[in-house]
Structure 1
């Protein structure tokens, strides 16, 4: 079966994850998280982050984001985020519909918010005619494949907390960000002041499932009820939990993410040698954004399917996965060189 550069969601599950699922598929275990694998996965996260956290598992990333944000932001509240944030453009209005709150978006060429982007929204606080900002949500790594440094995250956390706002991280590709920075999850999330995070695994080798982790346990009281109401409480929780226990209980998460990032760098290096191609974003995680000649895009999609990110500019998104191979990258670049030379 053809592999693609369309999305890290297209890849299968890592073989070690498949083995882990088989291990818990024997006998009976307690339901709704009352099982050994869930306890084990929570212990793994406490080791990675800190002891005083609350960990919950959900079935998918949108469910993690929506239930997490809805549990802390009232319907009269607002979430500050990038205009390209997944919660704004890729969740079909679920955050607003389910939570009832407002999204306040900022146009960013690289997808990264700064403290200066947040300041304009910190007006009319307490004014009953205005939606009240309650949360800043950032994506790590961003939808453009860029990565916040620990210093940048801390600066955002500081301004948020100074104004009684919470900091949420959409960490669908959190592992790719961590290996890109060369830091631990504790350094990137705990030490910077993040309050809660949607902790991703599906894009890094899991079959399904995400986690919602409250580093600030003072705000987690309502979450279990919102998760149930939001239809994200899986009865056979062990099938999600054992995947996280396996992925983060060893260096498997790091190996997967390092490989995906490495393949993205290799892809970018190859694209950079093709004169007709313009790379539009710094390649920091496992995604490459580039402008290709319009006439070669259909043929290149036949070689390896991918998404056109911006139809007006012919900017495309090329995503690498834990199982992307150097042979695939070489074949993609080779065909692109042939096509661009032919159409020049």
Structure 2
């Protein structure tokens, strides 16, 4: 009976997986942190007003302002794509366009949602490391008076980037100053914002509201939550009709307290930072172990919780039979290994040993 959930004999809830199995495919694969689950239980029971009028969502505003300044306003949503699309819709006109890196999640991994749901034009720029610069932005920041071209209105950056690299506060300040001087706004996709802050060893405000970011998509799922993210408006003048757009975008949770209390559990104290520091440390341990193995090339600086590497294709295929991970570019043999808040040292060491064994075959 140990595999059955301790809830009720009237359900068929039971454990259907091995909780000892861990891989390196995605930090989305991890479960929820026990402290988050405990917070969910505390928020359960009784009735609370629906659609964000509950006491947990009210308190979340105070918590967010402690991190992102007195003007910050949180709009909890279900997922990261919802946060990004809703935020970008609120920041643009119908004829607006968003400048982003060619590797950006909004361009590569959101199934065209910004275009098809948000009605936005994405103006993408190739980058060597996933990071935009003022010069790279200027490749697409033009033609505002040309009615034949979508109007650049927002620069969207990701912190940390999809390639695992981290912007410094000065780099983001330069982007914000450059964008604002051209009457554009800045959106930050913070799916892994906690990992970036842990890597830089600075508060999250140091590279968001303090340097000019207008709107933030705050990510919690990859850092220990069950589900849920939040749009955080840092500059109230940057958005229009956020409440209406969230509802129209199907991102308004009726039982919002269960998203808000998870964000509170992460952010009210230091759980967000503890989790991020651990996953970053496991990625560094993995990178250090891999560097000692001949036949593997690490492609980008390991600054957060991701390791990008190139190794022989057949080795990757065999290794995938032992540990789950993804090809980033199968044609060139590039793979991505992600660490999570629950990755253990023995998981990393076992993976490195398995890699050695497969390379030796």
Q: TM-score range by the shorter chain?
A: over 0.9
Structure 2 residue aligned with 1:192: 211
Structure 2 residue aligned with 1:62: 81
The answer to whether structure 1 residue 303 and structure 2 residue 329 are counterparts is no
The answer to whether structure 1 residue 338 and structure 2 residue 360 are counterparts is no
Match of 2:222 among 194, 203, 211: 203
Query: How far apart are residue 335 of structure 1 and its match?
Result: 1.2
The answer to whether structure 1 residue 275 and structure 2 residue 294 are counterparts is yes
Query: How far apart are residue 230 of structure 1 and its match?
Result: 0.4
Query: How far apart are residue 122 of structure 1 and its match?
Result: 2.5
Query: How far apart are residue 125 of structure 1 and its match?
Result: 1.7
Give the TM-score of the pair, scaled to structure 1. 0.98
Query: How far apart are residue 144 of structure 1 and its match?
Result: 0.5
- Give, in whole Å, the separation in 2 of the partners of 1:221 and 1:82: 25
Structure 2 residue aligned with 1:313: 332
Runs of 4+ residues over 3 Å off in structure 1: none
- Give, in whole Å, the separation in 2 of the partners of 1:191 and 1:28: 38
- Give, in whole Å, the separation in 2 of the partners of 1:39 and 1:197: 19
The answer to whether structure 1 residue 144 and structure 2 residue 163 are counterparts is yes
The answer to whether structure 1 residue 80 and structure 2 residue 99 are counterparts is yes
Query: How far apart are residue 318 of structure 1 and its match?
Result: 0.2
- Give, in whole Å, the separation in 2 of the partners of 1:114 and 1:219: 21
Structure 1 residue aligned with 2:281: 262
- Give, in whole Å, the separation in 1 of the partners of 2:143 and 2:266: 45
- Give, in whole Å, the separation in 2 of the partners of 1:338 and 1:120: 46
- Give, in whole Å, the separation in 2 of the partners of 1:101 and 1:86: 15
The answer to whether structure 1 residue 234 and structure 2 residue 260 are counterparts is no
Aligned pairs (5 A) from 1:70-149: 70-149=89-168
- Give, in whole Å, the separation in 2 of the partners of 1:294 and 1:311: 8
Structure 1 residue aligned with 2:197: 178
Structure 2: gaps (5+ residues) = 1-17
Query: How far apart are residue 108 of structure 1 and its match?
Result: 1.3
- Give, in whole Å, the separation in 2 of the partners of 1:108 and 1:117: 8
- Three-state SS of the structure 2 residue aligned to 1:211 is strand
Give the TM-score of the pair, scaled to structure 2. 0.93
Structure 2 residue aligned with 1:290: 309
**Greater mean deviation of Cα atoms: 48-57 or 132-141:** 48-57
| Alpha-carbon distance change, 75 to 221 in structure 1, aligned in 2, over 3 angstroms | closer
> How far does the alpha carbon of each residue in 1:137-175 deviate from its partner, in whole angstroms, 9 at most, with x for none?
000000001000000000000110000000000000000
- Give, in whole Å, the separation in 1 of the partners of 2:274 and 2:360: 36
> How far does the alpha carbon of each residue in 1:246-265 deviate from its partner, in whole angstroms, 9 at most, with x for none?
10001111100000000000
CA contact (8 A) 1:78 1:134 kept: yes
- Give, in whole Å, the separation in 2 of the partners of 1:157 and 1:15: 37
RMSD over equivalenced CA pairs, Å: 0.9
- Give, in whole Å, the separation in 2 of the partners of 1:334 and 1:117: 41
- Give, in whole Å, the separation in 1 of the partners of 2:178 and 2:86: 24
- Three-state SS of the structure 2 residue aligned to 1:191 is helix
CA contact (8 A) 1:58 1:232 kept: yes
- Give, in whole Å, the separation in 1 of the partners of 2:255 and 2:142: 45
The answer to whether structure 1 residue 53 and structure 2 residue 89 are counterparts is no
Structure 1 residue aligned with 2:22: 3
Query: How far apart are residue 323 of structure 1 and its match?
Result: 0.2
Query: How far apart are residue 277 of structure 1 and its match?
Result: 0.1
Aligned residues: 342
Structure 1 residue aligned with 2:47: 28
CA contact (8 A) 1:70 1:98 kept: no
Query: How far apart are residue 221 of structure 1 and its match?
Result: 3.3
